[in-house]
Structure 1
Amino acid sequence: MTERRVCRARQAVVPLLAAGALLSGCGVLPGSAGGSPGPVVVMTWAPEDTGATNMPGMIAMAQAFEHYVNDTGGLNGRKLKVLTCNEHNDSVAVSQCAQQAADAHAVAVVGSYSEEGGTFSTALESNDIAYLGGYGITQDEFQSPLSYPVNGGLPALLAGSGGQLSRLCKKVALVRPDTITGDQFPIFLDQGLTAAGRPVARDLPAQDDASDYTDVAQRAVGDNKASTCVSAVLGDHTSTFFDSLRRLGDTPPKVRLSSVIGSVQQSLVDATGGPHSPLENAVVTGWYPPASDPKWDEMKAVVEKYAFSDDRIDVADPGVQTTWIAYTVFSKVIRGMEKDTDVTADTVQRALDRTTKLSTGGLTPDLGWTDTDLLNIPDHARLVDSKVTYQVVRQGKLVQQGSGFVDVAATLRKASSFH
C-alpha cells in the first residue's frame, strides 16, 4: 500500500512542480528537509450559500485555528496554511475542491462537510490525501481507507436517538430528507427502537429545502398523543418543520419533539423563544458534550481571540465543534512526528495509521485508527467512535441527560448487518 501511494504521489506531484524545483526520492517539495521549512498545507471544505444545509462555521473555525496555531509556535516550527473551498452541495464542486487540494500539495483535508461522499472519497484516494474529521454525513466516510473519522456520524446519532426515544415514546414518527442519504436514516433509528422492544418509526420523507412542511407535520402528529414522539432530522430546514408544526391547529401539539444535534442546537432553541421555545423538553442526541461543558473552554477562548467578530461561528454548532476536534487531532499528530520528518500526504497518513489513545480532552473518547481501534462494524470499517451523548432542552438550554457517553456499537452492528 505504501509503495503504491508513493508511486502515485510521484506521478501526481511531478507535473505540478514549479520550474527549478528540486526533487528528492518521491517528490519532496522545496522548503522541506534541508532548507527553510515551508508551511503545512491542509484544506477544509463545506457548503455555503446553498438552498440546503450550509456549514460556513466550519470554514471559519478552520481559519481561526490557523491563526491560533501560527500565533503559538506553529507545528514543529512550520506554519499551518489552511485552504478553504465552498463545495456547494454539489459533486462537481467538491471534485474541484479536491483537485485544488492536490494542486496545492495539501497533506490532508481536515474538519470538512460534504454529502457527496462517493465523489470526494474517490478524488482524495486518487491523490492519496487523507480525510480527517469529516462531519460523518455519508457512509463513504466510514469506508474509505483514507478516512479518519472523529465521531460516529449520522448512523451513531440516529441509533442513539432510537435508544433515547425508546425510553419515552410508544410511537415515533421520523421526518427526514427524501434523498439517498436520508433513505439510510430509518435503518439506524429503527434498530435503536427495536432493540428496546419498540415498533419501528413511521417514515415520513420530505423535501429537504422546502419552505413549508404543514402537510408532513400533520401526518407526523397523527392522533396527537403525548406518548408519540416526532423526530425531525432535516438539517438547516428542521427549524422550518418545527415552525409548521407549531402553527397546526389552535393548541400546541402534545407530541414530544426530538432530533439529533446539527438539526437542533442551542441557537435554534434561542431563536424560537429560549425558555418559552416550543422545543422546551425536546430530546436531542449528540456526539459531544453540550456547549456549556467546560471542556469547550479552549475552543471558546480561541474563537473569542481570533474570530470575535466572525458571526459564522456558533460554538454550539456540531460542525464547528467537529472542525475544532479535527484540527486539534491533526496538530497533535503532526507535533508527534519526528521533527526532521518531511510532512507530506504520505507521512501524515502513516502517522495517522499509527495513532492510538489520542486524547481530545474528553470531547470524545480517546481516538486512534490502528487495527485495534477499528470497531469492525459492517459497512463502516473505519468507524472508531461509537459513543453519543443524550441531551434535553430544559429552561431553554440544551443540557446533558444522564451522565457521560452512551455506546451504540451493538446497535450499529445490527443496523449495518440488516442494511
Structure 2
Amino acid sequence: MTARRRTRHRPRTLLPRRGGKTLVAATAAGATLLSLTMSGCGVLPGTAEASADDPITVMTWAPENTGATNMPGMPAMAQAYARWVNSKGGINGHPLKVLTCNDHNDTVRAARCAARAAKKDAVAVVGSYSQHGRSFMSSLEGAGIPYIGGYGVADEEFTSPLSYPVNGGLPALIAGNGRQLAAGDCERVSLVRPDTIAGDQLPALLNDGLADGDADAGKATDIRAPEAASDYTKQAQQALTAAGADSERYGYAKYGGKAKGACVTAVLGGRTDTFFDSFRRLQEDNPQVRTASVLGSLRQSLVNRSGGSDSPLEGAYATGWYPVASDERWDPMKKVVREHAFGDNRIDVTDPGVQTTWIAYTVLHHVLESIDGGVTAKSVRRALDTGTPVTTGGLTPKLSWSYENMLAARDFPRIVNAMVTYQRVREGKLVAVREGFIDVERTLEGEHEG
C-alpha cells in the first residue's frame, strides 16, 4: 500500500541542520576553539563515523519497574533484533549494537537517556517509549540524533523534524476509537484517561472521532484518573453514571441487559486492567454498558488474565495501529523472538510496544542498508528524509517522511501513517472487525462535519 501524496501545503518550522557549514572558515583561533568546544571532541554533532567493521550503535529506551506504564518488552525486542541481525553478519558488515535505557517515567531520567545516547555516539534512538518529549527531544536535536518509531505518546514525536514516527500514535488511536464507537451506535460515551499532559489532548481527539463517525454524536464525558492508582472505583462509578444511568432512555430492559448506546472507553496504559477490575465489580448492580479501549491499554494478555472468554472485556471494542497479533504478517517477528530472545518473558508479541519496536528496527535496517559510505546520525537522517519508501511487510503502509507525505495538521505535522485497525474481543480473542486499515487522516486534520 503506497503512501498517498498530499497536495495541501503549509509552513513548517525546521531546526537548523546539524553538521552543515554553520561557521565561516576560521580566521581566528577563537572560532576554531568554539567549533571544537561545541562538538566536545572536535566533531560536529551527528557526524561521528563508524569505520569498516565497527559496530553501529543505536539506543532503545522505555520505562521499567515503575508505578505507572511499563514497557520492558521494547528494549528486550531491540536486543533480540540485534542478536538476529548479528547472527547473519550484521548490516553491511557492521554489527548492530543496541544500548538500552530506563527512563523511569521521569523527566530527568528521560533527559539522561538522551544525553547518554549522544555521549555513546548513537546514530539513532529506535523503537522507544517515553512520555517526556520535552525532556529528551531537545537533547537529541542538539546532538542531531534521529528518533525513529517512538510509541507516540509525546507531542514532540509529531512536531520535531528529527522524529520519524511509524504510526499515528495516541492521536490516531483515540480519533479512530471515537469513529469505531460511533459506528457501534455508542450514543453516550465516557472517557477514562490519565490526568497528565499527554492525557489532556485525548478528549478532543475522541470527540472529533465521534463527530466524524456520526455528525449527531454528542461529546464524551471526560473522567480524569491518577496514572498510578491501585484502585479506580471512584472513576468507574463516574463512568457508569455518565454512560448508563438513564437505562430507560437507552433501552436497558429492551436490549436484554445491554444499555444500547452507553459505552465506556478507558485509556490508562498499564493501569487499564486495574480500572476494568474496579469497573467489573460495580457493573453487577448497574446497566451493562459496553466497554472499549485502544491497543496498548487493552491487549490479549489482559483478556487472558481477566478470564478469557469469560472476561468482563468480552465484546469490548479496541482500536489498534497494526493487524491483529494472530495475522501471519507477524510471523517473521515471532520467529526472531523464538530463536533469539532466549525465552525472555518481557517480550509479549501481542504488545503494540513490542510490535512498534519491530517495525522501527525494520525501518532502521532498510535505511542502514541504503547508506553508501559512513554511517552517522547525519547520514541516517538524510536517508530517512530523501530515501525510498520503507516496506514493513504489510504491517503498515509504505513509510516515507518526505514533505508531501506528512499530515496537513497543525498539531501533528510529522505523522505519515494515519491508519488504524478496528478490533473486538470475541470468545476471549482480539479479532479484526473488518479487513484492512481505516484512514483517520481527515479526523486528525479536523475536516469532520458537525
* Contact 2:19 2:47 (8 Å CA) reproduced: no
Over 3 Å counting, the alpha-carbon distance change for 1:366 and 1:282 in structure 2 is same
Alpha-carbon shift at residue 327 of structure 1 (Å): 0.3
* Contact 2:240 2:286 (8 Å CA) reproduced: no
Distance (Å, rounded) in 1 between the aligned partners of 2:111 and 2:231: 32
Q: 1:115-153, CA deviations, whole angstroms, 9 ceiling, x for partnerless residues?
A: 001111111001110000000011110000000000000
* Contact 1:98 1:120 (8 Å CA) reproduced: yes
Aligned length: 406
Q: Equivalent residues in 2 for 1:264-275 (5 A)? A: 264-275=298-309
Q: Does 1:71 align with 2:87?
A: yes
Alpha-carbon shift at residue 7 of structure 1 (Å): 6.1
Alpha-carbon shift at residue 356 of structure 1 (Å): 3.9
Residue 337 of structure 2 aligns to a residue whose secondary structure is helix
Q: Equivalent residues in 2 for 1:335-346 (5 A)? A: 335-338=369-372, 341-346=373-378
* Contact 1:246 1:253 (8 Å CA) reproduced: no
Q: Does 1:176 align with 2:210?
A: no
* Contact 2:111 2:136 (8 Å CA) reproduced: yes
Q: 1:261-281, CA deviations, whole angstroms, 9 ceiling, x for partnerless residues?
A: 000000000000111111111
Q: 1:266-319, CA deviations, whole angstroms, 9 ceiling, x for partnerless residues?
A: 000000011111111100000000100000000000000111410100000000
Over 3 Å counting, the alpha-carbon distance change for 1:91 and 1:25 in structure 2 is closer
RMSD over aligned Cα atoms = 2.2
Match for residue 305 of structure 1 among 318, 322, 339:
339
Alpha-carbon shift at residue 16 of structure 1 (Å): 4.4
* Contact 2:175 2:440 (8 Å CA) reproduced: yes
Alpha-carbon shift at residue 357 of structure 1 (Å): 2.5
Distance (Å, rounded) in 2 between the aligned partners of 1:104 and 1:13: 16
Q: Which moved more, 1:240-249 or 1:81-90?
A: 240-249
Question: What is the one-letter code of the residue matched to 2:429?
Answer: K
Find the counterpart in structure 1 of residue 203 from structure 2.
186
Match for residue 232 of structure 2 among 202, 209, 213:
213
Residue 226 of structure 1 aligns to a residue whose secondary structure is strand
Question: What is the one-letter code of the residue matched to 1:350?
Answer: R
* Contact 1:356 1:369 (8 Å CA) reproduced: no
* Contact 1:38 1:78 (8 Å CA) reproduced: yes
Q: Does 1:367 align with 2:367?
A: no
Match for residue 165 of structure 2 among 140, 143, 149:
149
Alpha-carbon shift at residue 37 of structure 1 (Å): 2.6
Distance (Å, rounded) in 2 between the aligned partners of 1:50 and 1:415: 39
Residue 446 of structure 2 aligns to a residue whose secondary structure is helix
* Contact 2:47 2:377 (8 Å CA) reproduced: no
Find the counterpart in structure 2 of residue 15 from structure 1.
40
Over 3 Å counting, the alpha-carbon distance change for 1:398 and 1:309 in structure 2 is same
Find the counterpart in structure 1 of residue 252 from structure 2.
none
Question: What is the one-letter code of the residue matched to 1:136?
Answer: G
Q: 1:61-109, CA deviations, whole angstroms, 9 ceiling, x for partnerless residues?
A: 0000010110112110100000000001111101111111111100000
Q: Equivalent residues in 2 for 1:194-233 (5 A)? A: 194-195=211-212, 196-197=214-215, 198-222=217-241, 223=245, 225-233=259-267
Over 3 Å counting, the alpha-carbon distance change for 1:206 and 1:87 in structure 2 is same
Find the counterpart in structure 1 of residue 413 from structure 2.
381
Residue 445 of structure 2 aligns to a residue whose secondary structure is helix
Over 3 Å counting, the alpha-carbon distance change for 1:112 and 1:7 in structure 2 is farther
Alpha-carbon shift at residue 219 of structure 1 (Å): 1.3
* Contact 1:188 1:412 (8 Å CA) reproduced: yes
Distance (Å, rounded) in 2 between the aligned partners of 1:311 and 1:143: 34
Find the counterpart in structure 2 of residue 392 from structure 1.
424
* Contact 2:194 2:268 (8 Å CA) reproduced: yes
Q: Which moved more, 1:203-212 or 1:143-152?
A: 203-212
Residue 40 of structure 2 aligns to a residue whose secondary structure is helix
Q: Does 1:239 align with 2:255?
A: no
Q: Which moved more, 1:373-382 or 1:287-296?
A: 373-382
Q: 1:153-182, CA deviations, whole angstroms, 9 ceiling, x for partnerless residues?
A: 000000000000002211100000011111
Distance (Å, rounded) in 2 between the aligned partners of 1:393 and 1:3: 47
Alpha-carbon shift at residue 355 of structure 1 (Å): 2.9
Over 3 Å counting, the alpha-carbon distance change for 1:170 and 1:111 in structure 2 is same
Find the counterpart in structure 2 of residue 281 from structure 1.
315
Question: What is the one-letter code of the residue matched to 1:333?
Answer: V
Question: What is the one-letter code of the residue matched to 1:180?
Answer: I
Q: Equivalent residues in 2 for 1:87-102 (5 A)? A: 87-102=103-118
Q: Which moved more, 1:230-239 or 1:245-254?
A: 245-254
Gaps of 5+ in 2: 1-14, 24-34, 248-258
Q: Equivalent residues in 2 for 1:399-414 (5 A)? A: 399-414=431-446
Distance (Å, rounded) in 2 between the aligned partners of 1:27 and 1:408: 37
Find the counterpart in structure 1 of residue 251 from structure 2.
none
Question: What is the one-letter code of the residue matched to 1:229?
Answer: C
Find the counterpart in structure 2 of residue 316 from structure 1.
350
Find the counterpart in structure 1 of residue 66 from structure 2.
50
Distance (Å, rounded) in 1 between the aligned partners of 2:53 and 2:59: 19
Q: Scaled by the length of structure 2, what TM-score is found? A: 0.86
**Structure label with greater radius of gyration:** 2
Find the counterpart in structure 1 of residue 7 from structure 2.
none
Residue 275 of structure 1 aligns to a residue whose secondary structure is helix
Aligned-pair identity (%): 53
* Contact 1:334 1:348 (8 Å CA) reproduced: yes
Alpha-carbon shift at residue 15 of structure 1 (Å): 3.0
